[in-house]
Amino acid sequence: MSQTDSRTAEIRRLARTDEPAACRLLAALLHDLFGLMAEEVALNADQYSLNSLNGFFRAGGEAFFFKFHQEEGEEAMSGEYYRADILARAGLPVDQPVHMSALPGEQILVYRRRSDPRLSDVLRALDLQPDAAAEAEAIAAQADLDRIIARVYLDTLHPVTARQVAAEPIHRLFHDRLVDPVTGVRPGGRYRSFYLGQTVELPGVQLAWDRFAAARIVVNGVAYARSIGELFAEALDRLDPARLANCGGLTAHGDAHNANVWFGRRDGRAVLSFFDPAFAGEHVPALLAEVKATFHNCLAHPLWLYDPAELGRHHTACAAYADGVLALDTSWRLSPLRRALLRTKGELVWKPLLAALRDRGLLPAEWQRVIRLALFLCPTLVMNLRAGAATHDATSSAIAFSVAVMAGSEPADGAEDDLTAFLAAIDPGA
């Protein structure tokens, strides 16, 4: 199937311009794939669905929830999508779909509709209106899930071959977005289409991409060792799937941001469970497995990645450029809630995983660079961060790039920031 024949791609395109037509095409897809007579099809306006679409419909008197992920050029890619069964077998709490298609260009999951909110919605409400009791409950629920994740990671950790690693779909979230999906041209993919040859607009500053990418970055007075261009080039090299077999593999969801996590209750206690395992695998490189959850559940909040319009009511940013140095000063900081979630993720998942990798001879010397580079690609390639290209304005773009640099690069002078403190806390050699 060609990209132009992909019905999921066409549905996503129509959803932006002609929602009734998108719903009609979606109903036809559900009928062709599963024999469902879909009625009352509705698309969900969802700021978290940056590369996917979800919504609701009824069929045979039942209510359903659907979601699909659609990646550029996926029809030409190998590998499987949507392997919820391997997560369940490993002991991870995952909601099983009642209908599933993994056909290229027609990949979609259908679940029975639940009344539970997603964890992303629960936490966003707390970002805007803090509530100590509710925050403690959410952090405790995340800690319970993190303990399960850590146990599964340690139980399934094993040496892997380069061929096994290369077949994992998780690379479509990282390295594959730096490469043309059809021709293999490097650099390509989203990196080329989002940034190369473009202009970056920041508060009071406009820079051509080449000059912006080469600039030495200073964020709130902290100078960083690597430029944005250097980070992209290093990620293209070091996150190549052929170079990730040396850190072992394990069973993981791979894309467990909180919009893919239900917030339910059982016996009066908050419990979390996964859905949408589009990138799940049994040989996921160990150093990539928890990166998306770490960035998108902690560092992407509050507000700046998913809610740039709301961000401007809470935070400011300014920029100055001179002699090859770009200074970004912002009022944005990690909130106490997100800081607590990051600490929980580090203590309960990252620290035992890294210790196990070390003990089994699977921890590469440059493990921090691998993690940092993957964290850097999370915001920069999940959506276009340039002002005016998608949803970002100059203020949110400045904050976005400042957080991306903090994730990807060490400070130049040995200073400590949130990421250096996090990596020091999980270092198995410390």
The mean per-residue pLDDT over the stretch 363-368 comes to 97
Question: pTM (2 decimals)?
Answer: 0.93
The mean per-residue pLDDT over the stretch 219-246 comes to 97
What's the pLDDT score for residue 369?
98
- Of 79 and 403, more confident: 403
What's the pLDDT score for residue 72?
66
Q: Which phi and psi (to 5°) does residue 320 adopt?
A: -145, 140
Asked whether residue 21 carries a pLDDT value surpassing 90, the answer given is yes
Structure tokens at 109: 């999951």
In this prediction, residue 70 has a pLDDT band, given cuts at 50, 70 and 90, of low
Give just the sign of the alpha carbon dihedral 269, 270, 271, 275: positive
Pick the closest to residue 306 from 64, 58, 121 (CA basis): 121
Asked whether residue 26 carries a pLDDT value surpassing 80, the answer given is yes
The model's pLDDT over 143-200, given as tens digits with 9 standing for 90+, comes to 999 999 999 999 999 999 999 999 999 999 999 999 998 889 999 999 999 999 999 9
What's the pLDDT score for residue 9?
85
Domain layout of the chain by residue ranges = 3-112, 119-426
Residue type present at position 423: L
Q: How far apart are CA 258 and CA 339, in angstroms?
A: 15
The mean per-residue pLDDT over the stretch 196-217 comes to 98
What's the pLDDT score for residue 103?
80
In this prediction, residue 69 has a pLDDT band, given cuts at 50, 70 and 90, of confident
Q: How far apart are CA 178 and CA 159, in angstroms?
A: 26
Give the rounded percent of residues in the chain with a pLDDT score beyond 90: 84
Pick the closest to residue 194 from 400, 382, 51, 384 (CA basis): 384
Q: Which fold has domain 3-112?
A: Phosphorylase Kinase; domain 1 (3.30.200)
What's the pLDDT score for residue 411?
97
Give the rounded percent of residues in the chain with a pLDDT score beyond 70: 96
Asked whether residue 424 carries a pLDDT value surpassing 70, the answer given is yes
What's the pLDDT score for residue 243?
96
The mean per-residue pLDDT over the stretch 336-361 comes to 98
Q: How far apart are CA 418 and CA 59, in angstroms?
A: 48
What's the pLDDT score for residue 4?
46
Name the average pLDDT for the chain.
93
The mean per-residue pLDDT over the stretch 222-229 comes to 98
